[in-house]
Every structure is written in structure tokens, then in C-alpha cells.
Structure 1
């Protein structure tokens, strides 16, 4: 019996799409081996893309090979499509047909676009809650989902006998702590067995990046807990499973004959345009990052440090993104200067965690967020300021809390000037690990923080037009129940050429 609650269907893990541009989109599925269909040989998977959900107007069709080397995943690049329109797709194999997926292409570069609706989300630990948030996000009908990391968690559940000691857990799972490639494949299969997550993947294209729990808590670069060589082997297994299970565009990591796994250092960061309305930059804050301040390479990172006891914290040579990615992002921002006629209206930096500085009452500094890399944050602030962008918005996740912040440059020529807006989202299901009283104490010391809440799970819903950006913080009422309702905790707007979020 499989360790996750799925049927014997080959397509029991659903379908997905992602990485849309103006003429193509990636279509994804993964065949699910079972006791009755072990999939020992490569399988021919047929795909179709149509104008209509009934597949009466089929536009493209083809065949892809699902092999054990790629976890029986299929990544199809459907090309030659019209810009800015919706399509439907499905897969067939061994007489079975997948669920129907809906996807779309992006508007043509420079095209006038009136609206973009996107959902941003992160952090969906299985045991901590059901995925009702995804059901409500689907009802909100976005054009695009931006997923900012922690799609899976590598941990094992407490034993069933210990469940009473963990009353906050919504559900358990039998998988071991992930170490091997098969462990990580099983973890993705577990998460993808959730019907609300499957339905959201099938509803619209996704842009995805990773954070730490796709590999190991608080890892950076080549360093996790334990010997470096053993960790690197585990990390590459985790990276392979991530690529197998995400609808990622073909690049140096892929070949059309079949999925080929990336070597260490293969870039995941990239740019996504949406006509003349927006440029989105999706970043990778794990693969190239320097060690957290005052961390021993083979030991776990401290949660926080005291600046007086940790000279490493202020060291200018430490990078949060890695130097090559830093330079790439600065150049991308400069290319979107408002002074250039081809610039996009909104510059959107999609990254993993909270960017805004936080002064804690304890005097300590968070080690794993941008607070732990103040020189790197200052370099990005400088790049944003020098680029003179029309509108800059940062999206983040990781900390399992909703934060809405004005981004200022305290070391700049005008320290009170607001450079950008930040919306750092709470988790889909993962617990926050703090209390609202502690969060309120942080807000009291940080006037640039407009809102901070740790006690809700959910996602962010953004409606972006030429004149206004509106963000709703959507939260579920009872995350421990799959049928939970949801509501909007708060609403903020960012006006065109007026930096900083405002309560709405």
C-alpha cells in the first residue's frame, strides 16, 4: 500500500502548468507507480492542448516519455501559442486520462495590459493543517500563482501514539525524515495527493521557487547539519525531486528527450514579464547564500544573534543571494528604470522571506532573514534607489506571518523616503512558532511595519492595474479542517508612483 492517500490512477498526482511566456507554457504531470502498475519500463505519455475544455478544438498534441530516471515526471513545452489567452490540456497513458488542466500564456512584451490577478503563497507543512487556503485561492480565480518556497517539509510526523501530545496537528503521515531521492519523491507525492492543492495547480499556471525545507531547515549553499559531503549528496537528491515535481521551463537543466537534472549552481532565478504592466523577478535565496552569521558550517544555524557578540553579522562580503545573482538583479532593475519608454509599470521582486528590517525588543537579530545579512540588504536597497523604478513591490514568505511594510533606506541620502512596498505572506498551513503579543511588541518598535500578524494561515491576493495595486490578506478560519471558510484579514493599496502601502 502506498504511504500517501491516493488512488491507483496513473495520474493520481494531478496536472500542473507554469512558466508562461507570450507563446508557450510548460505542462506537467507525474505518473504514479503502484502495486498493480509498477512502471518498470519507460511510458509514452500523450498530451493535448485545446481551446476548449471539451477538447473539440485541439490546437497542439504530442508525446513525451516518462522514465524512472525522472521519477516518471513529464515536462512538455507547448509552443506556438497565442499571447494572453487561456487554454486547456490533458494527458493520456495506458488507457487512462488525466484531469483537465487550465492554463494561459502571458501578454506579449510591451502589450497594453489592464489587469493581472496573482496569488502569492508559501509554507505548506502537511501535519499542521489542511489546504483549504488553496480551495479559496482557486475561487478567487487568479491568472498566476507565485509560490515562494517550502512546498514540502522534510520532517517525519510524531508517532500515532504521540498524537495526543500534539493536539495542534491536523493530520499525520508515515514517511521517514527525508534523506534519499525516493524519500523526497514520496514527500512530493504526499503533498500532491491533497485535492485542493491539485485543483489549484490545474486552475492556472504557477511560478515557483524553493526555500530551505525542500532540502533541510536553514541550509545554505553546500552547508546543512553534518558532514559537507553527505549533505551535498542529500541536497542534490532534493533538488532532483524538486525539478521532477515542479512545472519548470526547459533550460540548461533539461533536454527535450527527457528531464535531465541540474548540476549544482544551475540558476533557478529568472524574470517573468506581463506585457507592459509588470516585471516579476523570481529569486533563489538558498543555493548561493553565504552562511548565517556566527554559524559553524556543519551545525544548525542559530535562530538569532546579538550584534555585539557576532562581528560576522556586519561583514560586507556576506551575500544573501550570491554575488552573481545580486549583479543580475541590479542589472535587471536598472533595465526597468521609469525613464525608459519600454519599462514596465510595476517591478515585483519575488523572494523567500521578510526583507524589511526588524528591531526586536530583545536586541537580538534574526539570523536567517535579510536582517542577518544587513550589508546585502543595503546593496539591494541601493540598487532599487539607483534604478529609479516607477513602482517597486517585494513579495515574501517563510516566516509564517503576514507583514505589510514600507521599505526605506536608513543609510541613504533621504532616510525617511519610501522606496518600495512589501507584502510578506503567512503560510498555507505551517504554524508560526510565536505569539501575537511578541509580534505586537515588534510592531511597536518598527514604525515602517503597518501590519504584522502571526495567528492566521492563508495567502495573498493581488489585483494589479496600471493605476493601483491592491493586496488582500486572505486567511482561513479553521486551518485544521479541510472545509474551512475564509475571509479577508486586511486590504492595502499601492498607488501608481506613490511608494508604500496604504490601508484600504
Structure 2
């Protein structure tokens, strides 16, 4: 049972952020009462810059002041004072044509993070931005606004990424991703991992194992802040953030492995897990380019949202962790009859209604679901029996059926599901009947592998036969990498890209496979 709402609200007093501190951090209340804070001891922009959630008239710009990003107290070497941070947005990289500028106050309450929500920009345009604080100038970032929602868009270029266990390998995939001319990166979860970093899981060759306190599992606000700082010191991650706007959601490791609402697989009391969720969500908001609408409220983080890319695509960003029911019979892998309970939900009632209402209203050529865990039906028993992963949508088949019913009801001709989580490249055709591979294909699912989690990987592994025994699975690969897509009114071209190794830097990139999905004809046509 979910923890009662009044009890959850009590966490606001313990883990919430004052309204004043939050509003100052967005730039909406920058005024004479803002404090300059005095000079800073060193360059505060060590964690780089980022932009996100592009709209036709603007984006959110992010940075976090941290002259000592790995200071053990999680405050980045910052005094507890507030600091004024100025930003500029320009049409050119030399900042000769300023399009917008403003001032934001970075407060200690929000880890001296900045989420400047910029408006008044032109639709479908490239812009450059930078920050200034305490006499220091940040690196220059590049971003793009979304097209006018009424406009015909000839092409939408995006990449997906997920699962970046920094201690398992270098983020070389991001270096190659930043060489592409992208409109957006969709990050599908596991931005950090909560495990302690020890000699047992350290795989970055030639780099020293970080000392304590990084060797402990994270559970406090200070520890979560420090973990984000550690991961964001990666230069390739900083580069891709500065190169293109991101749209982000969480999976489980931003909090704790395999959690479901207020429960986890370790039997943690709900009150303790909600407390951990509250600080984890706060650190997530502090460290990523999210709008004010997505700020955390104690243990609640409103992440599901809809973005439009002209008339070409509607992008529904989902959250399959925060509102889901617990595992059937408490088992992650099982075929318990409880799995088939028609009341079970992975999205929660409110998010389900929001999603179906958006599908009802959609007039886009493509409808994209950006989410965390595999949606397709995957029988994990290669023999005559059946076995399912309840961590995926297979643990919630009634919810999946309701989604399919909504797609049929509203005549959604081109649904595309984008997924992370499993650390493998997988291409899947959704079938009207999972047990009949010749039944109608009703959707396309593109599962991107991890950026670094699980080290180098391999062309295949022990799980390959399991996945490929399901005939609607058209690709399986266990290397690291990312998914790069080009969407037009006529087709979606999906390139599954891999790097041969991540445990040492410098790997080249390879196009493992290229698929084309034609508008009006769900499915996967392999070209490479």
C-alpha cells in the first residue's frame, strides 16, 4: 500500500526548499535583494553548463557553482552565501548579437544550482549561452529552441542515452555523440548509481580509484550531491551537455536499485525509503537542466511531461518508477498470477490519464514515448514454459493493454517507444499477439545500450539467446554506445552505435545496425 499523502507531505518540512530560494534559482525574482556574495576562491564552473526542455520560445539553462566539486561535504567548495549569476544568450558564438540576458541567484539551499528559464527566443533556432559569477566566466554552451508547433519540420535529429556508471568506464560514447548535429538528447535514466565505488567495481584503467567518501552507498543529500559532482567531472559528459539541449527522466539508480514507489527489494521501511527518495530527487533537480515545473516536493518529483517538435513529433516523457505497484509476490523475475491483476499499474492512475489524454489530442506524425524499462513482451524461458521480468512492463500487462487500447482508440499510427535500463542494444517490434510472431505489428521499440555501465561488454552474451528466442526481437548486442535517430515526415532512421571498449579512453565508434521505420507502417526494416 502506498504511504498516505499527509505522511508524505511531512517530508516537505524536512527535505523541501524554501519558496524564496527556489524562485531565485530560476531567475524569476532576481532583484535588488539578490546578494553578489563577494569574490569566489576559484573558477566556480567546474561542472560545466547545460540546457534542457526546449520550447519554441526558449530553454532552461543550467549550471552549478562548485569551485571544489569533490569537496566531501557536498557543497562544492562554496560558502553558504547566495551568489548572483548573470547569463547571456546570443545568436552567435562571439556574443555580438545578444538575444536575452538576466540574473539568477544561486543559493546554498539548492546546492548553488541555477535553472534560468529563458523566454522570448525565436522558434527553431540555434543559440549560444554563458554564465558569469564572482568575476569568472563559464564555458560557452550551444542550444536550440523547438520549432513552432504549427510548422512542418523536415527533420528531427536526436540521440538517446542511459545507464552511465562512471566507475565502469569512460564516457567515450558522448564524445562521438557530440560530433553529431543533434537537436536533442533524450536521457532515459540512471544518470548516477548509488553503489559505493570500490576496487571490486572499478574499471577505469589508468585512473586512480576515488578515495572515501565515494566508497560508501549514497543515501544522504550531501552524498547524492557529491555523486553527481563526481560523474559530471567527466569531460565528455560536460561536452555533450554543452553541445545540445537534454530532456531527462529517471530510472531506479538515481535513488536505489529496483525501487517501486515507496518500496524496494531490500525491505526498507516505506518511511525510510521516502526520506531517501526526497533527498535523491532534490539532488536530481539540482544537477540537471529541469524547469521549475519539475522541481521536487519532498519525496515527489513531477517528471512526466510532453514536448512537441513542430507537427512532426509529440514526445511524452514518462516515469515508470515513482508511481508503480510493487513486484508481484515480491519477485523481480516470476510468473506469479498477481502479475495479471487488471488493476496493476506501472504509471499510476494520474499519469495514465495524462498520457491517454495527450494521445487523444495528438496531431503529430510520430508519437514518441521516452521511458525507462522494456515495454515489449519478452518471455525469458526459452523452453515450453513462461518467465517474465516484473521490473519491466511484463510485470504490468494490464497497463500495457490499456495503453495499446488508447493507441487504437485514438488512431495513433506511428508510436515509437524509446527505452534504456538493460545495457544492451535491442530492436523490437510490438505485436498484437506476443505469442504469434505473424500477428500485426503495432509499435516499434528502440532500446539503447548503456553509456558505460557493465564495462566493455561484448558482441553477444549469455542473455542473447533468451532475447532472440522472441521472434519479434530483431537485434541484440551487448556493447556500450548510444542510439542516433533521424525522423522525417516519411520515415524514422535509427542507428545503433557502439564503441568496442570503455575501460580505457579513445575508442572509435561503429554503426552496428541501421533500421528504417516507415510512417504508417510500424516495424523495422534493416538496412545495415
SS of the counterpart of 1:38?
A: coil
Candidates 375, 396, 402, aligned match of 2:398: 375
Q: Deviations over 1:40-87 (max 9, x none)?
A: 210111111111111111121111011110010000011101000011
Go from structure 1 to structure 2 and tell me whether the alpha carbon gap of 1:437 and 1:485 turns closer, same or farther (over 3 Å shift). Answer: closer
The alpha carbon displacement at 1:132 in A equals: 0.3
- Match of 2:399, SS state, is helix
Post-superposition offset of 1:477: 1.8
CA contact (8 A) 1:385 1:419 kept: no
1: CA distance between counterparts of 2:174 and 2:294? Answer: 31
Which residue among 449, 466, 476 is the counterpart of 1:452? 476
1:344 corresponding residue in structure 2: 364
Alpha-carbon RMSD across the aligned residues, in angstroms, is: 2.2
Relative to structure 1, is the Cα distance of residues 382 and 434 closer, same or farther in structure 2, using a 3 angstrom cutoff? Answer: farther
1:170 and 1:143, CA in 2 relative to 1: closer, same or farther beyond 3 A? Answer: farther
2:130 is equivalent to residue 90 of structure 1: yes
Residue among 401, 409, 418 paired with 1:386: 409
Shift of residue 167, structure 1, vs aligned partner: 6.2
- Report deviation, 1:245: 0.7
**2:361 equivalent to 1:327:** no
For 1:67-466, what aligned pairs fall within 5 Å after superposition?
67-159=107-199, 172-174=209-211, 175=214, 176-224=216-264, 225=266, 226-251=268-293, 253=295, 261-295=296-330, 302-305=331-334, 307=335, 310-336=336-362, 343-361=363-381, 363-410=386-433, 416-431=439-454, 436-454=460-478, 456-466=479-489
Q: Is the 8 A contact 2:376 2:428 kept in 1?
A: yes
Q: Distance between the aligned counterparts of 2:248 and 2:144, measured in 1?
A: 16
CA–CA distance in structure 2, aligned partners of residues 412 and 20 of structure 1: 40
CA distance in 1, matches of 2:47, 2:419: 27
Structure 2: how far apart are the matches of 1:283 and 1:200? 23
Whether the 8 Å contact between 1:128 and 1:169 is mirrored in structure 2 is no
For residues 370 and 210 of structure 2, what CA distance do their matches in structure 1 show?
31
SS across alignment from 1:422? strand
CA contact (8 A) 1:400 1:457 kept: yes
> Which residue, out of 86, 89, 98, partners 1:58?
98
Residues of 2 paired with 1:104 and 1:394: CA distance? 23
Gaps of 5+ in 1: 1-6, 254-260, 296-301, 337-342
- SS of aligned partner of 1:141: coil
Q: Output one character per residue of 1:259-288: Cα deviation in whole Å (capped at 9) or x when no partner.
A: xx4244442101000001111000001111
Q: Distance in 2 between matches of 1:352 and 1:314?
A: 21
Q: Is the 8 A contact 2:57 2:121 kept in 1?
A: yes
Rounded Cα–Cα distance in structure 2 between residues aligned with 1:419 and 1:19? 29
Structure 1 Cα separation of the partners of residues 312 and 468 of structure 2: 36
Partners of 2:251 and 2:445 lie apart in 1 by 18
Q: CA deviation at 1:33?
A: 4.5
TM-score by length of 2: 0.85
What TM-score results when the alignment is normalised by the length of structure 1?
A: 0.89
Contact map agreement 2:293 2:302 (CA 8 A) in 1: no
The DSSP-based 3-state class of the residue aligned with 2:157 is strand
3-state SS of 1:502 partner: strand
Gap regions ≥5 residues in structure 2: 1-40
| Misfit runs of 4+, over 4 Å | 166-171, 411-415, 432-435
Query: How much has 1:482 moved relative to structure 2?
Result: 2.1
Structure 2: distance between partners of 1:252 and 1:135: 28
Is 2:274–2:299's contact at 8 Å kept on the other side of the alignment?
A: no
- In the alignment of these two chains, the number of paired residues is 471
CA gap 1:144/1:252 in 2 versus in 1, 3 angstroms? closer
Deviation at 1:413, TM superposition (A): 13
* Cα distance, 1:434–1:360 mapped onto 2, change above 3 Å: farther
CA distance in 2, matches of 1:90, 1:199: 14
**Aligned match of 2:60:** 26
